[in-house]
Amino acid sequence: MERRVISGSIDTVFEFDYSVQAEDMRGLYEKAKRDQWNASRDIQWTAPATDDGRVLSDELIDIYGSPIWERLSERERVDLNRRIAAWRLSVLVYGEQGAMLACSQMVDIVTGTDQKFFQATQVADEARHNEVLERYLETRLDGLHYPMPENERVLFDSILTDRRWYVKTIALQLVAETFAVSMFKMMGEAAADPVLKEICRRILQDESRHMGFGMLALPSVVKEASAAERQEMEDYTCMALEKVLTGFFPLEAYQDAGFSKAQIGEVRRHRREVAAHNDYAVYRKYFRRDMHAAMVNNLARIGLLTERVRPRLAALGVELPTAA
Ligand SMILES: [Fe+2]
Ligand SMILES: [Fe+2]
């Protein structure tokens, strides 16, 4: 089986004081213990599939409603629906594996017992997400898998090789997980298969806790940073955002569904046109609005929505409220 070895070195901080130092962080750890769930016990794997085999609402497919879509037969639409779902879930499976590895490094690097305890729970959460999504692909989507997109690989290589916990946290708990929360919300709402809906609901509960770690841990680091350090954090945020927001075209899913080169060109053109006119189908429109609002809000809370960052967000198509 293919695997990837990423070389690096990190510092392990061994704590001796196990008393509560950061009450809100310890509270998040308590919630994590209370809300553990088990993919083997809590998901109804034997529930019947949908009558037509669809996994998601067709509205989540980029070409939904376009002339290309109109030309497809019902059988082709169902096939594309399943392949696009498998493509997106594959991206998420790799993301969960990367998150698990990054958090296991963070258990070592972060200082403070409360922070270490919380990160230990996130390692277990991400393992469960990796497990449950993989099981979904295996049991409900005929074991369909698609390769890890380049942008996702580059982002995780950078997260996993940087020695500093706050750099990992900016990319993972702030940028990637803010995105993931909106993504799982949308997929949960648009899921045709009730098993997928339930999985998204459960993952979502965990993800908002993970985002909470960033919200608690990052503001003081940003506040105490020197000008140069702050600039580096801003640049890293923008790099992570760019990787998360661009370069996710499910090419292999269209290829496997039998689309020719010319047809894939047509799909790409349609996607560009929709983006230019902000003309998304309902779920996607809601997702963008929700994700942009959450991202802007979280960056502002952490102190990273600066005048250097704003134009770069705008260039990525993120809608910004006018500066106060
Ligand atoms: Fe996760
Ligand atoms: Fe997470």
Which ligand is closest to the CA of 169, given by its number?
2
Q: Which residues surround ligand 1, an ion (CB under 5 A)?
A: 96, 126, 129
Decide: 210 and 294 in contact? Cβ < 8 Å. no
Q: Which of the four pLDDT bands, split at 50, 70 and 90, describes residue 322?
A: low
Decide: 123 and 28 in contact? Cβ < 8 Å. no
Question: Distance, CA 210 to ligand 2 centroid (Å)?
Answer: 5
Separation between Cα atoms, residue 250 and residue 45, nearest integer Å: 26
DSSP secondary structure letter of residue 52: T
108-162 pLDDT, tens per residue? 999 999 999 999 999 999 999 999 999 999 999 999 999 999 999 999 999 999 9
Which ligand is closest to the CA of 207, given by its number?
2
Task: Round the CA-based radius of gyration of the chain to a whole number and report it.
Answer: 20
Question: Distance, CA 99 to ligand 1 centroid (Å)?
Answer: 7
Q: What share of the chain is helix, strand, coil (3-state, %, to 5)?
A: 70, 0, 30
- Neighbouring CB atoms inside 10 A of 143's CB total 10
175-223 pLDDT, tens per residue? 999 989 999 999 999 999 999 999 999 999 999 899 999 999 999 999 9
Decide: 147 and 89 in contact? Cβ < 8 Å. no
Given the structure tokens 């260039």, which residue do they identify? 315
Question: Distance, CA 173 to ligand 1 centroid (Å)?
Answer: 10
**Mean pLDDT of all residues belonging to the chain:** 94
Residues 307-321: b if buried by 16+ CB within 10 A, e if exposed: eebeebbeeeebeee
Contacts of 210 (CB under 8 A, 6+ apart): 99, 122, 125, 172, 173, 177
Separation between Cα atoms, residue 141 and residue 90, nearest integer Å: 11
Phi and psi, residue 56, nearest 5°? -120, 165
Which ligand is closest to the CA of 92, given by its number?
1
Which ligand is closest to the CA of 129, given by its number?
1
H helices present in 110-193, as ranges? 113-140, 150-161, 165-169, 177-190
Question: Distance, CA 97 to ligand 1 centroid (Å)?
Answer: 8
Calculated CA dihedral for residues 221, 223, 224, 226, nearest 10 degrees: 110
Question: Distance, CA 172 to ligand 2 centroid (Å)?
Answer: 8
Percent of the chain with pLDDT strictly greater than 70 = 99
Separation between Cα atoms, residue 84 and residue 81, nearest integer Å: 5
